[in-house]
Structure 1
Amino acid sequence: MSQMLVFLLPIIQRKPFTSTENDSQTLATDFIFLGFSNLAELQKLLFVVFLLLYLVTLSTNATIMTIIRVEPSLHTPMDFFLSVLSFLEMRYTFIIVPKMLVDLLAERKAISFLGCAVQMYFFLFLGCSHSFLLAAMGYDRCVAICQPLHYNSIMTRRVCAQLVVASALSGWLVAQAVTTLIFCLPFQASRKLNHFFCDISPVLKVAFTHTNLSKAVVFTLGIFVLVIPLMLILISYLFILRAILQIASAAGRGKAFSTCSAHLTVVVVHYGCACSIYLRPNTSYSSDQDALISVAYTILTPLLNPMIYSLRNKDVKAALQKALRKTRLPQQVFQ
């Protein structure tokens, strides 16, 4: 909490100024979201669809976290990382979706200056932590396949906790740097964001035009958050691929690769969406395209990721079936 107050202090103390042609400064009003404004006749339908997806996302991730916690057979390093991933997904959607649902039914879709800063801060913190957590999970898979006999001695509880803390610390540093940098800028008179939440690109577009340095810094931090974890994952999978190719039987190679398929799927979805938004040249930016990609990035992937892992994990499926037998619910959906 104290770290959060330190982050907010310069933004709270700073008055969000705008500038007119004569450089007179006036107090800025709220940011206005324009996301889905061109789909006015469909906004009630979108509200129902997104609300259902949000509720399913919360229930799915909460179920995965509960099953992993109460089932002793799931107290493994990979399942621990999966529970942390589900925790991040729940908090991630909580930062974006409830406000978006309110705006779908509201006539004025606005957010305060401080509210926008807080939303961006937690969005970046959770998203960046997610990227580094995927790198930690890639390292876990590398150890499991390349050094199976030493897996338990290497991936101890302490090491797993340190990897999670390192992921969170990296996310916190990036979120604090980027959010402070952006919200200490002066903004134009028009604060209309062609988006449905306070993302980096739409907020920078309503700052003054002489923000090339800020954009360069944000782009550099994007490389740090996306490229470095992705490179670590690729290095892990190079070692994994070499170890798999050394397995004599085709069945053994297939079994080894199947333990990585869920992680690979989540990596492709996460980094595919994130890189298409944050690592493109400025000239190729399209607000409408970014909004569509962000819908998949912020609403669909938090729902799909735990389902991908649980359906690929035999132990998780067995634990779910065990829980369903206790509650007398149908099991066919997990078969």
Structure 2
Amino acid sequence: MLTVGSICTGYGGLDQAVCAVLNAQVAWTSDISTGACKLAAHRWPDIPNLGDITAVSWHTVPTVDIICGGTPCQDVSLAGRRAGMTEGTRSNLWESMREAIHVIKPSIVVWENVPGARSARAASAGDLESEPGPVGDADGKPVLRALGRVLGDLAGLGFDAEWRSIRASDVGACHRRERVFVLAWHPDRIADARGWPPLSASHEHRLARGYLDAQILDLMPTVRDPSSTGPGAHGDGGADLQTAILHTPRASRGASTTENCSMITSQWGRYADTVARQEKAFGIPAPDPIEPGRNGTPRLSARFTEWMQGLPAGWICDVPGITRTESIELAGNGVVPQQAKAALADMLPSITEKATA
């Protein structure tokens, strides 16, 4: 099997997609957040977690066929500060991933991020500007965006690439959660790889184009990292997921005990159709969206945010020692595996055509 090096692993949603579509297995992971480290130690006890990617000597790391990662989105996200992929920002950790690619020389690179990467400014050199503004502004120079920087860096390392913007709702999820996916390949290394790429994998995970937002009256707000700040930090359109859940018809009557919390989840209200659609699409029953918090006050259940991300029951929440806040943070920063599988499968034929030409 092909081997994968995972950067900014989180709960491993992107890894799951890469391994499923490209017939691969993870050789090492890397993350420093407390929740992600707890999950890695529990789910993959025999796979090393490299930790802080800024401190890794990539020359000492085992080589892999594929490097994948969703580098931090806080500074390019519409839900964040919009500082961009520039010096001193968390989103500039892309530089560490680029260094790993440069040293390890994989055949394939997969990068994932928020749609804000298409518009957030990025550090640049030469005639490209790093300040925000439309392409072809008063100075007559194009503006470099985060996605453009990633693609440019990959091109500089000899890679060709495809990219897609796909919503989780496109594959049946109950929330929009649009993400940008880049699939890059090095022509020389692909040509030398025996049996590469896996031609049969591209059909199983094809984008289910029958799923359209227009078919659903109400999509839920998406899951957010509780630490997110900014104008869009509380979900798509400014709607907060917990508030939306608590304002279902039964929830609006109020509840203060465990019994009442159970009662208000017996009806999904306006989200009934979209919840049923995700259950059918992913084959995972929805858990109660509300749990009793302190003093019995109803609050959003971490198990429900886990389900919204297309994960099997307990994938995050059953990790020993993990807290509710850590669980929701992991869910808020992760990618829906079914969404990533569809994106990769949609781009894979481009590699197939070039590898077999």
TM-score of the superposed pair, with normalisation by structure 2:
0.26
Higher-helix-fraction structure: 1
- Structure showing greater radius of gyration is 1
Higher-strand-fraction structure: 2
TM-score of the superposed pair, with normalisation by structure 1:
0.27
